[in-house]
Structure 1
Amino acid sequence: MKKYIVLLFISLLGFAQQTPAPKQNKSILIIGAKAHLGNGEVIENSLISIIDGKIATIGDATLMKPAKHDIIIEAAGKHVYPGFIAPNSTLGLVEIDAVRASDDESEIGEFNPHVRSIIAYNTESVVTETTRPNGVLLAQITPRGGRISGTSSIVQLDAWNWEDAIIKENDGIHLNWPRSYSRTGWWAEPGGIEANKNYEPQIKTIQDYFDNAFAYLNTKNSKKDIPFEAMKGIQNGEKKLYIHVNGEKEIIDAVLFKKKNNIKNMVIVGGYYAFKVATLLKENNVAVLLKRVHDLPLLEDEDVNLPYKNAKLLVDAGVLVGLENAGDMERMQTRNLPFYAGTCAAWGLSKEQALQLITENTAKILGIDNQYGTLESGKSATLFISEGDPLEMKTNVISFAFIDGRQISLQSHHTELYERYKGKFEQQKK
């Protein structure tokens, strides 16, 4: 059996990532598309000039006279969007779950702030290239496991190596908050819910670790402690603290932890019951990267549609919200990120509000909104042209995509299989 797994691994590695696009060396003009800026605004008939990887000009084509460009893309009847952003992702950290050598998403130990996911990021992952034809062009590469999983970094998804891919290195530390309860049984025969007797001691262990780390950072030490060194920047806001938590009580305790430790930038990841304490989150400037939308309720007596409504409940309360995709088959399902936003639009948000969940809002949460997340003059030309609405499976057909002005390949193993079997059925018709 092991022999066949190794052969499968080798055969999959034989299908390598598409060659990264070279640096933009010709000016590009996109004319006539409906531009969805990612901030809630729309330009019906747009003109977008891309020079040296940046958006040089964007505006109404009827009011502007374009300068001469090397490449002109006539996009009347089509749509332009900023590249979608996948936060809390393990793209490039695991290729084949059954092959341990290809799994780099977690390390042993409980407190690993010094573990940097970026150095394990594989730019040649065949999974990563399946996200780009759906407009997902950026991702936050995030470790898993332990109480403190490690440090994430943000990348663009068309690069030769992890150094080339980096947009923002070591953006934040990820803390898995303990649960105040535990479930008994298993999925086929679920039991009841019991209180976690170790909940308070587990929180104390976290607090003790932070106390020791901050004490270390505030004194001169002859001996360097690498994990504590990695905690530098959490108190002053240079790094974000991402707390992975879903329960109402746990979210309240996480906010109290933020206040007690004077942590400037904290983000709730998951946040299934965040809507119950939305006022508290807004008052404390805590954003939420919301749990996967295409999911079942956590409790059997809840509204079955709650996962779909969750984003609107938080947006209406004034909380900054983005969408994340952690869970089963999370790397393969990253390509579905725009459809999660589409579901949020079907359950109360406008299409432009839903778009913000995977563009501007996520860029703000990750701290990259100065260059990404919206279509604006001076920002990175990371965008794509779609034949229709990319938040809908049926009309999400992307014809062009650019990362930092570089026109990237939209080919993948999926598209190769499509063309192969399309040819087969065309042969059968003859």
Structure 2
Amino acid sequence: MKKLTYILAFTSLVSFAQQTPASKQTKSVLIMGGTAHLGNGKIQENCLISIVDGKIVSISDATVTKIGKHDVVIQADGKHIYPGFIAPNSTLGLVEIDAVRASDDESEIGEFNPHIRSVIAYNAESKLTEAARPNGVLLAQITPRGGRISGTSSVVQLDAWNWEDAIVRENDGIHMRWPNSYARSGWWAEPGGIEPNKRYDEQVKAVQLFFDNAFGYLKSDKKEKDIPYDAMNGIQNGQKTVYVNANGEKEINDIIIFKKKNNIKNLVIIGGYNAHKVADLLKENNVSVLLRRIHDVPNSEDEDVNLPYKIAKILTDKGIVVGLENSGDMERMQTRNIPFYAGTCAAWGMNKEDALKLITSNTAKILGIDAMYGTLENGKSATLFISEGDALNMKTNKLVYAFIDGRQISLESHQTELYERYKEKFEEQNTKSEVKQ
């Protein structure tokens, strides 16, 4: 009996194992034809893209450009080419099964944990990471949760053996959860009203005290090493970005004051539901926004029911750099839906190529990886994919090729294997039914 159990367990692992990461690119690739959505708001029809040693060495119009011989030629006529989509503020690879505590590495005990580096807990072989790739999500910012200062995030590409291989930008920023000025009373089954948070000022002072102590330590001779304070190094010179979770108008106003007081060079609002109410202030202070999941209902019953779909356009029209994030319920499973959030923004007023920037070039700029990722340009990483249709439309986004740093990656996953398995089952049943008739 034990022997049979071991065989079944092994068979299960083999059947649904993570796809083997692709090897470094050794053969040149030429993508011919197709419509290239460059990620910067522009489109290149009938495009030629040459990929050598993991980079785009040429991107041009096929009707006027002659390209030399390549090892691999991909005909993309009638298809669409996009830069790899980016999932910021993500916990991909940090939790595999919510109900299994041993697989949950998204948060740490304590209130002020800037030294907690989420990337060292990143599971590159997560099935949820694998499931995001077939929709074009090829990069993610692995981000900690919990506490007032949750920890330090890093940006990874989603085809690797381990976290070290996955790193695109290590320790890109520190994540905070700003206190709420108001709180709901009651509980989910019997919600009460909205009440002022009587401890709001006290909680903000605690955050400021930690920053004061950290910056004081960094300016001192540091005779006694303090690991949390050491992790705050790089905030004032722009090496690290401060990402602050906040949605309220008052909270965002207070965060701007906090940014100025502490000489924080790069600060990003995460969530930003009411950011459009203080858009001019955000623009004036060069603050970007990673907008919360837009497939949601309004916060207030007297707001436009479609407001969540429109906020990205309102902020973009004000000149603010906006990206889309996906934190919340079932966030890891829903990472694959990020392109369709951008599609919803396009359906509610944004130009489609501007909506694409919400999950490509804008997000790359916010995360500090825009020198190599986020757009299709000469000299940048060949992290891109080819779809049979519009990648922002769930009905037409069907990937046929995907590349990360020029490596052609597998688009197979647990879901695609199940699809093929049960597709055969129903085809057999239909055949038997037709024979009987």
Give the Cα–Cα distance (whole angstroms) in 2 for the partners of residues 298 and 306 of structure 1. 9
| 1:17–1:123 contact (8 Å) kept in structure 2 | no
Question: What is residue 242 of structure 1 aligned with on the other side?
Answer: 243
- Aligned equivalents of 1:10 and 1:192: distance in 2? 53
Question: 3-state DSSP class of the match of 2:127?
Answer: coil
Alpha-carbon deviations, 1:258-309, whole Å to 9, x = none? 0011100000000000000000000000000000010111222221111111
Partner of 1:162: 163
Normalising by structure 2, report the TM-score. Answer: 0.95
Relative to 1, partners in 2 of residues 1:280 and 1:158: Cα closer, same or farther, differing over 3 Å? Answer: same
Distance, in Å, in 1 between the alignment partners of 2:399 and 2:188 is 39
Aligned residue identity for 1:107: E
How much does 1:117 deviate?
A: 0.2
Report the alpha carbon displacement of residue 12 of structure 1 after superposing the two structures with TM. Answer: 7.8
Structure 1 residues 372-407: Cα deviation after superposition (integer angstroms, max 9, x where no partner): 000000000000000000100110000000000000
Q: Is the 8 A contact 1:84 1:359 kept in 2?
A: yes
Q: Secondary structure at the match of 1:127?
A: helix
- TM-score for both structures, normalised by structure 1: 0.97
Note the alpha carbon deviations across 1:158-204, whole angstroms, 9 max, x for none. Answer: 00000000000000000100000110123343211100000001000
SS state at 1:131 partner = helix
Q: Aligned residue for 2:121? A: 120
* Structure 2 counterparts to residues 286-305 of structure 1, below 5 A: 286-305=287-306
Amino acid at match of 2:69: K
1:357 aligns with 2:358: yes
Question: The residue matched to 2:389 in structure 1 has which SS?
Answer: coil
Which letter does structure 2 place at the counterpart of 1:186?
A: W
Q: Secondary structure at the match of 2:214?
A: helix
Q: Is the 8 A contact 1:16 1:125 kept in 2?
A: no
Task: Specify the code of the residue in structure 2 equivalent to 1:416.
Answer: E
Aligned pairs (5 A) from 1:33-112 = 33-112=34-113
Q: Which residue of 1 aligns with 2:318?
A: 317
Q: Counterparts of 1:198 and 1:188 in 2: how far apart (Å)?
A: 25
Aligned residue number for residue 202 of structure 1 = 203
Q: Could you tell me which runs of 5 or more consecutive residues in structure 1 were left unpaired when the two chains were aligned.
A: 1-8
Residue in 1 that maps onto 2:274 = 273
- Rounded Cα–Cα distance in structure 2 between residues aligned with 1:190 and 1:120: 36
Counterpart of 1:388?
389
62-71 vs 291-300, greater mean Cα deviation? 291-300
RMSD of Structure 2 on Structure 1 (CA): 1.3
Q: Distance in 2 between matches of 1:221 and 1:384?
A: 48
For the residue of structure 1 that corresponds to 2:195, the secondary structure is: strand
Aligned to 1:135: 136
Q: % of aligned pairs identical?
A: 74
1:11 Cα deviation (Å)? Answer: 9.4
1:260 paired to 2:242: no
In 2, the alpha carbon distance for the partners of 1:161 and 1:169 equals: 14
Q: What is the distance in 2 between the residues matched to 1:67 and 1:297?
A: 54
Deviation readout 1:82-134 (Å, 9 max, x if unpaired): 00000000000000111111000000000000000000000010010000000
Is there any run of 5+ residues in structure 2 with no aligned partner, and where?
A: 1-8, 432-437
